[in-house]
Amino acid sequence: DIQMTQSPASLSASLGETVTIECRASEDIYSNLAWYQQKPGNSPQLLIYDANSLADGVPSRFSGSGSGTQYSLKINSLQSEDVASYFCQQYNNYPYTFGAGTKLELK
Amino acid sequence: EVKLVESGGGLVQPGRSLKLSCAASGFSFNDYWMGWVRQAPGKGLEWIGEINQDSSTINYTPSLKDKFTISRDNAQNTLYLQMSKLGSEDTAIYYCARGGYWGQGVMVTVSS
């Protein structure tokens, strides 16, 4: 199975700040990577697919980048509604696997 | 609008079986792969598996392959997850998913 190592596990940032979350795959996943946002009590919502494509309706302050084994999610100008947990998922190889998640809080 | 609604969850005793359903609407169900993901309380996401359009290909995460079975009924626009030999480790919210679209989830609690 492909292991997805996500960092940091938790993050505290101020409104308006730029934050970056990283995911490292144990082997090349050829940009077959998605990022999800999950707010408490809700199901995960797709933010980014194919490593850098913005899902429908997602604000442009979210962006994804990376290739090979290293990927990142960047949130520009952090808003209060961005407080959530974030997960990466690889869908290059079965079984599809998720990172352990990053909990983003406001400072 | 894509809509996925899970049902069939609840409290079940250890060792018993349970079948979850996912009613799909708002898209042509028989055109898409469908899958299941679960999340234990306060934990991360675990991919369970997915099924192709005509049920000829089903992929599972290896650790669950012998106790979970995914199936679908295209005439009823419904996806299923049959779970057997349930243990406390299977207590989780179970989500039905079509790519980036997820249902609201259904809670399964395994306890005596």
Of A49, A98, A100, the CB nearest to B47: A98
Which residue is closest to A40 within chain B, CA to CA?
Answer: B42
Say what the pLDDT of residue B43 is: 92
User: What are A20-43's pLDDT values in tens digits?
Assistant: 999 999 999 999 999 999 999 999
What string of DSSP letters covers B31-95? GS-EEEEEE-TTS-EEEEEEE-TTSS-EEE-GGGTTTEEEEEETTTTEEEEEE-S--GGG-EEEE
Per-residue pLDDT of chain A (107 residues; tens, 9 = 90+): 999 999 999 999 999 999 999 999 999 999 999 999 999 999 999 999 999 999 999 999 999 999 999 999 999 999 999 999 999 999 999 999 999 999 999 99
* Beta-carbon separation of A44 and B60 below 8 A: no
Nearest-neighbour CA in chain B from A87: distance (Å): 8
Say what the pLDDT of residue A19 is: 98
Amino acid identity for residue B102 in this structure? W
Q: Return contacts of A13-16, CB within 8 angstroms, 24+ apart.
A: A13/A78, A13/A104, A13/A105, A13/A106, A13/A107, A14/A78, A14/A106, A14/A107, A15/A78, A15/A79, A15/A80, A15/A106, A16/A77, A16/A78
Nearest-neighbour CA in chain B from A107: distance (Å): 22
Per-residue pLDDT of chain B (112 residues; tens, 9 = 90+): 999 999 999 999 999 999 999 999 999 999 999 999 999 999 999 999 999 999 999 999 999 999 999 999 999 999 999 999 999 999 999 999 998 999 999 999 999 9
Strand, helix or coil for residue A94? coil
Nearest-neighbour CA in chain B from A48: distance (Å): 9
Say what the pLDDT of residue A95 is: 96
A29, A97 in Cβ contact below 8 A? no
Of A36, A94, A99, the CB nearest to B59: A94
Handedness of CA B88, B86, B90, B9 (dihedral sign): negative
- Would you give the distance in Å from CA A62 to the centre of its chain? 9
Residue A15: beta bridge partners? none
- Would you give the distance in Å from CA B12 to the centre of its chain? 16
Strand, helix or coil for residue A81? helix
- Among B residues 16-75, those touching chain A with beta carbons less than 8 Å apart: 44-47, 49-50, 59-62
- Would you give the distance in Å from CA B43 to the centre of its chain? 17
Which positions in chain A touch B61 (Cβ < 8 Å)? 1, 95
